[in-house]
Structure 1
Amino acid sequence: MRINKLLSNLGFCSRRETNRLIEENRITVNGELCSPGQWVEEDDLILIDNKPIPVKDKIYIALNKPVGVTCTAAKEVENNIIDFINYPEYIFPVGRLDKESQGLILLTNDGELANKILESENQHEKEYIVTVHKPFDSNFLQGMAEGVEIFGVKTRPCIVTRVSEDTFRIILTQGLNKQIRRMTKAFGYTVIRLERVRIVNIKIYNINIGRWRYLTEKEVMELKN
Protein backbone atom coordinates (compact mmCIF):
# COMPACT_ATOMS: atom_id res chain seq x y z
CA MET A 1 0.00 0.00 0.00
CA ARG A 2 1.05 3.63 -0.22
CA ILE A 3 3.16 5.01 2.63
CA ASN A 4 0.40 7.52 3.47
CA LYS A 5 -2.18 4.78 3.99
CA LEU A 6 0.22 2.63 6.00
CA LEU A 7 1.06 5.37 8.50
CA SER A 8 -2.63 6.25 8.83
CA ASN A 9 -3.61 2.59 9.36
CA LEU A 10 -0.94 2.28 12.05
CA GLY A 11 -2.35 5.34 13.83
CA PHE A 12 0.86 7.34 13.49
CA CYS A 13 -0.35 10.36 11.52
CA SER A 14 -2.71 11.49 8.77
CA ARG A 15 -2.03 11.01 5.07
CA ARG A 16 -1.57 14.76 4.70
CA GLU A 17 0.93 14.83 7.57
CA THR A 18 2.80 11.98 5.90
CA ASN A 19 3.28 14.17 2.83
CA ARG A 20 4.77 16.89 5.02
CA LEU A 21 7.22 14.43 6.61
CA ILE A 22 8.26 13.21 3.15
CA GLU A 23 8.80 16.77 1.93
CA GLU A 24 11.03 17.39 4.95
CA ASN A 25 13.09 14.25 4.09
CA ARG A 26 12.25 12.69 7.45
CA ILE A 27 11.12 9.26 6.15
CA THR A 28 13.38 6.60 4.70
CA VAL A 29 12.39 3.24 3.20
CA ASN A 30 15.09 0.55 3.18
CA GLY A 31 17.76 3.22 3.63
CA GLU A 32 16.55 5.57 0.87
CA LEU A 33 14.53 8.76 1.14
CA CYS A 34 10.83 8.14 0.68
CA SER A 35 9.10 9.76 -2.29
CA PRO A 36 5.52 11.15 -2.28
CA GLY A 37 2.91 8.41 -2.66
CA GLN A 38 5.53 5.65 -2.56
CA TRP A 39 4.28 2.07 -2.40
CA VAL A 40 5.68 0.09 0.53
CA GLU A 41 5.38 -3.34 2.11
CA GLU A 42 4.80 -3.84 5.82
CA ASP A 43 8.13 -5.71 6.07
CA ASP A 44 10.07 -2.78 4.56
CA LEU A 45 12.43 -0.99 6.92
CA ILE A 46 10.63 2.31 7.37
CA LEU A 47 12.27 4.91 9.59
CA ILE A 48 10.96 8.31 10.67
CA ASP A 49 13.69 10.65 11.91
CA ASN A 50 15.97 7.56 11.81
CA LYS A 51 13.71 5.70 14.24
CA PRO A 52 11.24 2.84 13.69
CA ILE A 53 7.56 3.74 13.50
CA PRO A 54 6.36 3.83 17.12
CA VAL A 55 3.59 1.40 18.06
CA LYS A 56 0.50 3.37 19.06
CA ASP A 57 -2.24 2.12 21.36
CA LYS A 58 -5.51 1.90 19.46
CA ILE A 59 -8.10 4.52 20.34
CA TYR A 60 -11.85 4.05 19.82
CA ILE A 61 -14.23 6.90 20.63
CA ALA A 62 -17.99 7.43 20.21
CA LEU A 63 -18.97 11.11 19.95
CA ASN A 64 -22.46 12.61 19.96
CA LYS A 65 -21.76 15.29 17.35
CA PRO A 66 -23.71 18.55 17.56
CA VAL A 67 -25.13 20.36 14.55
CA GLY A 68 -22.54 22.77 13.12
CA VAL A 69 -19.47 20.56 13.49
CA THR A 70 -17.90 19.34 10.23
CA CYS A 71 -16.67 15.72 10.09
CA THR A 72 -13.21 16.34 8.70
CA ALA A 73 -9.66 16.15 10.03
CA ALA A 74 -8.65 19.12 7.86
CA LYS A 75 -7.46 21.79 10.28
CA GLU A 76 -8.17 24.61 7.83
CA VAL A 77 -11.93 23.86 7.95
CA GLU A 78 -13.76 25.95 10.53
CA ASN A 79 -15.50 23.98 13.31
CA ASN A 80 -13.85 20.71 12.24
CA ILE A 81 -14.43 17.67 14.41
CA ILE A 82 -10.78 17.26 15.44
CA ASP A 83 -10.61 20.75 16.92
CA PHE A 84 -14.01 20.20 18.53
CA ILE A 85 -13.05 17.03 20.37
CA ASN A 86 -9.52 18.34 21.08
CA TYR A 87 -8.09 14.87 21.75
CA PRO A 88 -4.35 14.84 22.56
CA GLU A 89 -3.50 11.94 20.19
CA TYR A 90 -3.92 11.52 16.43
CA ILE A 91 -7.44 10.32 15.62
CA PHE A 92 -9.77 10.76 12.67
CA PRO A 93 -13.54 10.41 12.04
CA VAL A 94 -14.82 7.16 10.56
CA GLY A 95 -16.89 8.39 7.65
CA ARG A 96 -19.01 11.52 7.76
CA LEU A 97 -22.15 12.97 9.28
CA ASP A 98 -23.07 16.18 7.49
CA LYS A 99 -22.72 19.53 9.24
CA GLU A 100 -26.49 20.04 9.57
CA SER A 101 -26.95 16.63 11.23
CA GLN A 102 -26.23 15.43 14.75
CA GLY A 103 -25.56 12.16 16.48
CA LEU A 104 -23.13 9.29 16.53
CA ILE A 105 -19.73 9.49 14.86
CA LEU A 106 -16.82 7.16 15.61
CA LEU A 107 -13.24 8.43 15.86
CA THR A 108 -10.17 6.23 15.95
CA ASN A 109 -6.54 5.83 14.95
CA ASP A 110 -7.22 2.29 13.68
CA GLY A 111 -7.22 2.66 9.91
CA GLU A 112 -7.86 -1.02 9.20
CA LEU A 113 -11.03 -1.14 11.30
CA ALA A 114 -12.21 2.18 9.85
CA ASN A 115 -11.81 0.83 6.32
CA LYS A 116 -13.84 -2.28 7.18
CA ILE A 117 -16.68 -0.19 8.61
CA LEU A 118 -16.73 2.08 5.57
CA GLU A 119 -16.60 -0.67 2.92
CA SER A 120 -20.00 -0.46 1.20
CA GLU A 121 -20.12 -4.16 0.35
CA ASN A 122 -19.88 -5.06 4.05
CA GLN A 123 -23.38 -3.57 4.43
CA HIS A 124 -22.92 -2.42 8.01
CA GLU A 125 -26.09 -0.95 9.48
CA LYS A 126 -26.42 2.74 10.41
CA GLU A 127 -29.63 3.87 12.12
CA TYR A 128 -31.17 7.37 12.07
CA ILE A 129 -34.14 9.25 13.51
CA VAL A 130 -35.40 11.79 10.96
CA THR A 131 -37.97 14.58 11.20
CA VAL A 132 -39.34 16.19 8.03
CA HIS A 133 -41.23 19.45 7.54
CA LYS A 134 -44.71 17.95 7.20
CA PRO A 135 -46.64 14.75 7.99
CA PHE A 136 -46.23 11.78 5.65
CA ASP A 137 -48.31 8.77 4.74
CA SER A 138 -47.58 5.05 4.43
CA ASN A 139 -46.75 5.42 0.73
CA PHE A 140 -43.78 7.59 1.68
CA LEU A 141 -42.49 4.95 4.12
CA GLN A 142 -42.90 2.19 1.56
CA GLY A 143 -41.21 4.20 -1.19
CA MET A 144 -38.25 5.05 1.02
CA ALA A 145 -37.89 1.40 2.07
CA GLU A 146 -37.96 0.09 -1.49
CA GLY A 147 -35.16 2.41 -2.62
CA VAL A 148 -35.00 5.84 -4.22
CA GLU A 149 -33.16 6.96 -7.34
CA ILE A 150 -30.47 9.50 -6.49
CA PHE A 151 -27.17 10.15 -8.29
CA GLY A 152 -28.63 8.18 -11.18
CA VAL A 153 -28.76 4.94 -9.16
CA LYS A 154 -31.37 3.37 -6.92
CA THR A 155 -30.51 3.17 -3.23
CA ARG A 156 -30.49 -0.19 -1.50
CA PRO A 157 -33.72 -1.37 0.10
CA CYS A 158 -33.77 -0.35 3.75
CA ILE A 159 -35.88 -0.53 6.89
CA VAL A 160 -38.14 2.49 7.51
CA THR A 161 -40.67 2.72 10.35
CA ARG A 162 -42.89 5.50 11.66
CA VAL A 163 -42.06 7.27 14.93
CA SER A 164 -44.70 10.01 14.71
CA GLU A 165 -46.70 11.84 12.04
CA ASP A 166 -43.59 13.68 10.78
CA THR A 167 -40.72 11.52 12.13
CA PHE A 168 -39.38 8.15 11.00
CA ARG A 169 -36.62 5.70 11.85
CA ILE A 170 -34.42 4.47 8.98
CA ILE A 171 -31.70 1.80 8.90
CA LEU A 172 -29.27 2.04 5.97
CA THR A 173 -26.50 -0.27 4.80
CA GLN A 174 -24.83 2.28 2.54
CA GLY A 175 -23.61 5.83 2.95
CA LEU A 176 -24.08 7.98 -0.12
CA ASN A 177 -23.50 11.72 0.25
CA LYS A 178 -26.46 13.25 2.13
CA GLN A 179 -28.40 10.12 1.23
CA ILE A 180 -31.38 10.53 3.55
CA ARG A 181 -31.85 14.20 2.70
CA ARG A 182 -31.79 13.40 -1.03
CA MET A 183 -34.14 10.42 -0.60
CA THR A 184 -36.76 12.45 1.26
CA LYS A 185 -36.42 15.33 -1.21
CA ALA A 186 -37.34 12.95 -4.03
CA PHE A 187 -40.77 12.61 -2.37
CA GLY A 188 -41.15 16.34 -1.77
CA TYR A 189 -40.08 16.42 1.88
CA THR A 190 -37.39 18.48 3.59
CA VAL A 191 -35.40 17.16 6.54
CA ILE A 192 -35.48 19.53 9.51
CA ARG A 193 -33.76 17.23 12.02
CA LEU A 194 -31.52 14.22 11.41
CA GLU A 195 -29.86 12.24 14.20
CA ARG A 196 -27.74 9.12 13.81
CA VAL A 197 -28.34 6.86 16.80
CA ARG A 198 -26.42 3.69 15.88
CA ILE A 199 -23.47 2.43 13.84
CA VAL A 200 -23.42 -1.39 13.71
CA ASN A 201 -23.45 -2.29 17.44
CA ILE A 202 -22.52 1.14 18.83
CA LYS A 203 -25.42 3.25 20.14
CA ILE A 204 -25.66 6.94 20.98
CA TYR A 205 -27.83 6.50 24.05
CA ASN A 206 -26.46 7.93 27.34
CA ILE A 207 -23.99 10.20 25.50
CA ASN A 208 -25.08 13.82 25.77
CA ILE A 209 -24.79 16.15 22.78
CA GLY A 210 -21.18 17.30 22.40
CA ARG A 211 -19.84 14.60 24.75
CA TRP A 212 -17.94 11.39 24.00
CA ARG A 213 -16.86 8.11 25.55
CA TYR A 214 -14.40 5.32 24.82
CA LEU A 215 -15.78 2.14 23.31
CA THR A 216 -15.68 -0.87 25.60
CA GLU A 217 -13.48 -3.85 24.77
CA LYS A 218 -16.63 -5.85 24.03
CA GLU A 219 -17.89 -3.20 21.59
CA VAL A 220 -14.55 -3.11 19.78
CA MET A 221 -14.43 -6.90 19.48
CA GLU A 222 -17.99 -6.98 18.09
CA LEU A 223 -17.06 -4.30 15.55
CA LYS A 224 -13.98 -6.24 14.46
CA ASN A 225 -15.97 -9.46 14.10
Structure 2
Amino acid sequence: MATRINKYLSEVGYCSRRGADKLIEEGKVTINGKIPEMGTKIKDGDHVEVDGQIVGKLKKQKNVYLIFNKPVGIVCTTDVKVERDNIIDFIKYPTRIFPIGRLDKKSEGLIFLTDDGDIVNKILRARNNHEKEYVVSVNRPINRDFIHSMSNGVEILETKTKKCLVEQLGPKKFKIILTQGLNRQIRRMCESLGYRVKSLKRIRIMNIKLDVPTGVYREFTNAELLELKKLLVNSSKKFD
Protein backbone atom coordinates (compact mmCIF):
# COMPACT_ATOMS: atom_id res chain seq x y z
CA MET A 1 0.00 0.00 0.00
CA ALA A 2 1.48 3.34 -1.07
CA THR A 3 1.86 6.07 1.55
CA ARG A 4 2.56 9.79 1.07
CA ILE A 5 6.11 10.62 2.12
CA ASN A 6 5.03 13.28 4.62
CA LYS A 7 2.59 10.87 6.24
CA TYR A 8 5.26 8.18 6.43
CA LEU A 9 7.76 10.47 8.14
CA SER A 10 5.05 11.42 10.62
CA GLU A 11 4.01 7.80 11.26
CA VAL A 12 7.56 6.64 11.98
CA GLY A 13 7.92 9.51 14.45
CA TYR A 14 10.56 11.49 12.57
CA CYS A 15 8.61 14.76 12.40
CA SER A 16 5.18 16.23 11.82
CA ARG A 17 3.63 16.23 8.35
CA ARG A 18 4.21 19.99 8.17
CA GLY A 19 7.80 19.44 9.21
CA ALA A 20 8.14 16.76 6.56
CA ASP A 21 6.78 19.10 3.89
CA LYS A 22 9.44 21.66 4.84
CA LEU A 23 12.22 19.07 4.64
CA ILE A 24 10.96 18.01 1.20
CA GLU A 25 10.87 21.62 -0.01
CA GLU A 26 14.46 22.07 1.21
CA GLY A 27 15.55 18.99 -0.74
CA LYS A 28 16.68 17.13 2.38
CA VAL A 29 14.52 14.07 1.75
CA THR A 30 15.33 11.35 -0.77
CA ILE A 31 13.49 8.22 -1.85
CA ASN A 32 15.77 5.57 -3.30
CA GLY A 33 18.43 8.27 -3.70
CA LYS A 34 16.21 10.75 -5.56
CA ILE A 35 14.66 13.97 -4.30
CA PRO A 36 10.86 13.55 -4.44
CA GLU A 37 8.17 16.03 -5.36
CA MET A 38 5.62 17.11 -2.77
CA GLY A 39 2.95 14.41 -2.41
CA THR A 40 5.13 11.58 -3.73
CA LYS A 41 4.09 8.18 -2.40
CA ILE A 42 6.39 5.41 -1.22
CA LYS A 43 5.74 1.69 -1.33
CA ASP A 44 7.07 -1.56 0.04
CA GLY A 45 10.86 -1.74 -0.23
CA ASP A 46 11.52 1.99 -0.79
CA HIS A 47 14.46 3.55 1.10
CA VAL A 48 13.82 6.92 2.70
CA GLU A 49 16.65 9.21 3.83
CA VAL A 50 16.72 12.61 5.51
CA ASP A 51 20.00 14.51 5.31
CA GLY A 52 21.66 11.33 4.11
CA GLN A 53 20.48 9.24 7.05
CA ILE A 54 18.20 6.26 6.49
CA VAL A 55 14.89 6.84 8.22
CA GLY A 56 13.60 3.37 7.50
CA LYS A 57 12.26 0.97 4.96
CA LEU A 58 8.51 0.92 4.55
CA LYS A 59 7.34 -2.47 5.69
CA LYS A 60 4.54 -4.13 3.84
CA GLN A 61 1.40 -3.79 5.90
CA LYS A 62 -0.75 -6.86 6.37
CA ASN A 63 -4.44 -6.57 5.73
CA VAL A 64 -6.73 -6.68 8.74
CA TYR A 65 -9.36 -9.44 8.98
CA LEU A 66 -11.57 -9.43 12.05
CA ILE A 67 -14.36 -11.68 13.34
CA PHE A 68 -16.84 -9.69 15.44
CA ASN A 69 -19.92 -10.69 17.41
CA LYS A 70 -22.16 -7.69 16.83
CA PRO A 71 -24.58 -6.86 19.65
CA VAL A 72 -28.19 -5.83 19.10
CA GLY A 73 -28.38 -2.04 18.77
CA ILE A 74 -25.14 -1.52 16.84
CA VAL A 75 -25.40 -0.32 13.23
CA CYS A 76 -23.10 -1.69 10.52
CA THR A 77 -22.02 1.63 9.04
CA THR A 78 -18.79 3.58 8.76
CA ASP A 79 -20.68 6.89 8.82
CA VAL A 80 -19.71 7.85 12.35
CA LYS A 81 -21.03 11.40 11.96
CA VAL A 82 -24.59 10.32 11.20
CA GLU A 83 -25.01 7.17 13.30
CA ARG A 84 -24.00 7.37 16.95
CA ASP A 85 -24.29 3.62 17.60
CA ASN A 86 -22.01 2.64 14.71
CA ILE A 87 -19.81 -0.42 14.54
CA ILE A 88 -16.60 1.56 14.00
CA ASP A 89 -16.86 3.59 17.21
CA PHE A 90 -17.95 0.49 19.13
CA ILE A 91 -14.89 -1.54 18.13
CA LYS A 92 -12.40 1.36 18.22
CA TYR A 93 -9.88 -0.49 16.07
CA PRO A 94 -6.67 1.57 15.64
CA THR A 95 -6.66 1.54 11.83
CA ARG A 96 -9.34 2.12 9.20
CA ILE A 97 -11.58 -0.92 8.65
CA PHE A 98 -15.10 -1.48 7.35
CA PRO A 99 -17.73 -4.22 7.74
CA ILE A 100 -18.33 -6.83 5.05
CA GLY A 101 -22.06 -6.69 4.46
CA ARG A 102 -24.60 -5.84 7.13
CA LEU A 103 -26.63 -7.08 10.04
CA ASP A 104 -29.55 -4.79 10.82
CA LYS A 105 -29.69 -2.94 14.13
CA LYS A 106 -32.05 -5.47 15.74
CA SER A 107 -29.92 -8.46 14.71
CA GLU A 108 -26.75 -9.82 16.27
CA GLY A 109 -23.93 -12.19 15.56
CA LEU A 110 -21.08 -12.77 13.16
CA ILE A 111 -19.79 -10.05 10.89
CA PHE A 112 -16.38 -9.58 9.28
CA LEU A 113 -14.42 -6.33 9.28
CA THR A 114 -11.41 -5.68 7.08
CA ASP A 115 -9.42 -3.15 5.09
CA ASP A 116 -9.24 -5.50 2.10
CA GLY A 117 -11.71 -4.21 -0.48
CA ASP A 118 -10.97 -7.04 -2.89
CA ILE A 119 -12.18 -9.75 -0.51
CA VAL A 120 -15.25 -7.68 0.41
CA ASN A 121 -16.57 -7.71 -3.15
CA LYS A 122 -15.96 -11.43 -3.59
CA ILE A 123 -17.85 -12.33 -0.41
CA LEU A 124 -20.77 -9.98 -1.02
CA ARG A 125 -21.52 -10.75 -4.65
CA ALA A 126 -24.73 -12.81 -4.65
CA ARG A 127 -23.77 -14.86 -7.72
CA ASN A 128 -20.89 -16.41 -5.76
CA ASN A 129 -23.42 -18.28 -3.57
CA HIS A 130 -21.52 -18.09 -0.29
CA GLU A 131 -23.37 -19.57 2.68
CA LYS A 132 -24.49 -17.57 5.71
CA GLU A 133 -26.16 -19.39 8.61
CA TYR A 134 -28.62 -17.91 11.11
CA VAL A 135 -30.58 -18.97 14.19
CA VAL A 136 -33.97 -17.27 14.38
CA SER A 137 -36.75 -17.12 16.98
CA VAL A 138 -40.27 -16.01 16.05
CA ASN A 139 -43.34 -14.89 17.96
CA ARG A 140 -45.48 -18.02 17.59
CA PRO A 141 -45.08 -21.77 17.00
CA ILE A 142 -43.82 -22.87 13.60
CA ASN A 143 -44.94 -25.98 11.72
CA ARG A 144 -44.07 -28.10 8.67
CA ASP A 145 -45.81 -25.70 6.32
CA PHE A 146 -43.65 -22.85 7.59
CA ILE A 147 -40.43 -24.86 7.14
CA HIS A 148 -41.52 -25.98 3.66
CA SER A 149 -42.39 -22.46 2.54
CA MET A 150 -39.19 -20.93 3.89
CA SER A 151 -37.12 -23.70 2.29
CA ASN A 152 -38.69 -23.44 -1.16
CA GLY A 153 -38.79 -19.67 -1.50
CA VAL A 154 -40.99 -16.81 -0.40
CA GLU A 155 -42.24 -13.85 -2.41
CA ILE A 156 -40.63 -10.66 -1.08
CA LEU A 157 -39.42 -7.44 -2.70
CA GLU A 158 -41.05 -8.40 -6.02
CA THR A 159 -38.99 -11.58 -6.29
CA LYS A 160 -38.95 -15.11 -4.94
CA THR A 161 -36.16 -16.04 -2.59
CA LYS A 162 -33.80 -18.86 -3.54
CA LYS A 163 -34.34 -22.33 -2.15
CA CYS A 164 -32.45 -22.79 1.10
CA LEU A 165 -31.91 -25.16 3.99
CA VAL A 166 -34.26 -24.59 6.96
CA GLU A 167 -34.27 -26.77 10.08
CA GLN A 168 -36.59 -26.49 13.07
CA LEU A 169 -34.73 -26.24 16.39
CA GLY A 170 -37.65 -25.71 18.75
CA PRO A 171 -41.34 -24.73 18.92
CA LYS A 172 -40.57 -21.16 17.81
CA LYS A 173 -36.95 -21.48 16.70
CA PHE A 174 -35.26 -22.49 13.45
CA LYS A 175 -31.95 -22.46 11.62
CA ILE A 176 -31.65 -21.12 8.07
CA ILE A 177 -28.73 -21.12 5.61
CA LEU A 178 -28.87 -18.47 2.87
CA THR A 179 -26.77 -17.92 -0.22
CA GLN A 180 -28.27 -14.53 -1.05
CA GLY A 181 -28.56 -11.32 0.91
CA LEU A 182 -31.71 -9.37 0.15
CA ASN A 183 -32.50 -6.43 2.40
CA ARG A 184 -33.82 -7.74 5.76
CA GLN A 185 -34.44 -11.01 3.94
CA ILE A 186 -35.22 -13.34 6.85
CA ARG A 187 -37.46 -10.82 8.58
CA ARG A 188 -39.38 -10.17 5.36
CA MET A 189 -39.71 -13.90 4.65
CA CYS A 190 -41.17 -14.52 8.09
CA GLU A 191 -43.50 -11.52 7.83
CA SER A 192 -44.84 -12.76 4.51
CA LEU A 193 -45.88 -15.99 6.27
CA GLY A 194 -47.51 -14.18 9.18
CA TYR A 195 -44.64 -14.41 11.67
CA ARG A 196 -42.58 -11.77 13.45
CA VAL A 197 -38.90 -12.26 14.22
CA LYS A 198 -38.08 -11.85 17.90
CA SER A 199 -34.35 -12.60 17.67
CA LEU A 200 -31.96 -13.18 14.78
CA LYS A 201 -28.34 -14.25 15.14
CA ARG A 202 -25.83 -15.03 12.41
CA ILE A 203 -23.59 -17.88 13.50
CA ARG A 204 -21.57 -18.65 10.37
CA ILE A 205 -20.26 -17.06 7.18
CA MET A 206 -18.79 -19.61 4.78
CA ASN A 207 -16.13 -21.53 6.76
CA ILE A 208 -16.05 -19.14 9.73
CA LYS A 209 -18.17 -19.96 12.77
CA LEU A 210 -19.02 -17.49 15.52
CA ASP A 211 -16.91 -18.30 18.58
CA VAL A 212 -16.49 -15.05 20.50
CA PRO A 213 -18.76 -13.45 23.14
CA THR A 214 -21.17 -10.67 22.23
CA GLY A 215 -19.34 -7.38 21.66
CA VAL A 216 -15.94 -9.04 21.25
CA TYR A 217 -13.74 -9.31 18.16
CA ARG A 218 -10.67 -11.33 17.23
CA GLU A 219 -8.39 -11.67 14.24
CA PHE A 220 -8.77 -14.51 11.76
CA THR A 221 -6.40 -17.39 12.35
CA ASN A 222 -4.00 -18.15 9.52
CA ALA A 223 -5.87 -21.40 8.84
CA GLU A 224 -9.25 -19.64 8.66
CA LEU A 225 -7.95 -17.00 6.28
CA LEU A 226 -6.23 -19.58 4.07
CA GLU A 227 -9.42 -21.66 3.84
CA LEU A 228 -11.56 -18.58 3.17
CA LYS A 229 -9.29 -17.48 0.33
CA LYS A 230 -9.41 -20.98 -1.15
CA LEU A 231 -13.20 -20.80 -1.17
CA LEU A 232 -12.97 -17.42 -2.92
CA VAL A 233 -10.54 -18.50 -5.65
CA ASN A 234 -13.25 -18.86 -8.28
CA SER A 235 -15.37 -15.98 -7.00
CA SER A 236 -15.89 -12.85 -9.03
CA LYS A 237 -15.19 -9.56 -7.29
CA LYS A 238 -17.61 -7.62 -9.49
CA PHE A 239 -21.14 -6.94 -8.31
CA ASP A 240 -24.18 -8.21 -10.19
TM range (shorter): 0.7 to 0.9
* SS of residue in 2 equivalent to 1:143: helix
Cα 1:48–1:124 shift into 2, 3 Å: farther
Opposite residue 129 of structure 1, the aligned amino acid is: V
Residue of structure 1 aligned with 2:74, choices 66, 69, 76: 69
Question: Are 1:121 and 2:111 counterparts?
Answer: no
Q: CA RMSD in A?
A: 1.7
Q: Which residue pairs with 1:161 in the alignment? A: 167
Structure 1 CA distance, aligned partners of 2:2 and 2:183? 26
Matches within 5 A, 1:39-50: 49-50=39-40
Identity of aligned residues (%): 48
Deviations 1:86-129 (A, max 9, x none): 00011100000000000000000111111110010000000000
Q: Which residue pairs with 1:52 in the alignment? A: 42
Deviation at 1:11, TM superposition (A): 10
Opposite residue 115 of structure 2, the aligned amino acid is: N
Opposite residue 198 of structure 2, the aligned amino acid is: I
* Contact 2:74–2:87 (8 Å) recurs in 1: yes
Structure 2 CA distance, aligned partners of 1:11 and 1:200? 31
Question: Are 1:208 and 2:198 counterparts?
Answer: no
Deviation at 1:48, TM superposition (A): 8.9
Opposite residue 91 of structure 1, the aligned amino acid is: I
Residue of structure 2 aligned with 1:103, choices 106, 109, 113: 109
Structure 2 CA distance, aligned partners of 1:210 and 1:154? 34
Provide TM-score, normalisation by structure 1: 0.77
* Contact 2:2–2:43 (8 Å) recurs in 1: no
Matches within 5 A, 1:128-139: 128-139=134-145
Opposite residue 90 of structure 2, the aligned amino acid is: F
Cα 1:11–1:165 shift into 2, 3 Å: farther
Provide TM-score, normalisation by structure 2: 0.72
Q: Which residue pairs with 1:185 in the alignment? A: 191
Q: Which residue pairs with 1:222 in the alignment? A: 227
Structure 2 CA distance, aligned partners of 1:120 and 1:187? 24
Opposite residue 51 of structure 1, the aligned amino acid is: K
* Contact 1:11–1:56 (8 Å) recurs in 2: no
Opposite residue 128 of structure 2, the aligned amino acid is: N
Deviation at 1:53, TM superposition (A): 5.8
Cα 1:138–1:153 shift into 2, 3 Å: same
How many residue pairs match? The answer is 181
Deviations 1:185-212 (A, max 9, x none): 000000000000000011112x000001
Opposite residue 52 of structure 1, the aligned amino acid is: I
The structure whose Rg is larger is: 2
* Contact 1:62–1:106 (8 Å) recurs in 2: yes
Between 86-95 and 215-224, report the one with greater CA deviation: 215-224
* SS of residue in 1 equivalent to 2:199: strand
* SS of residue in 1 equivalent to 2:123: helix
Cα 1:159–1:11 shift into 2, 3 Å: farther
Q: Which residue pairs with 2:90 in the alignment? A: 84
Structure 2 residue runs of 5 or longer lacking an equivalent are 4-36, 45-59, 231-240
Cα 1:149–1:92 shift into 2, 3 Å: same
* Contact 2:134–2:203 (8 Å) recurs in 1: yes
Structure 2 CA distance, aligned partners of 1:114 and 1:201? 15
Deviation at 1:145, TM superposition (A): 0.3
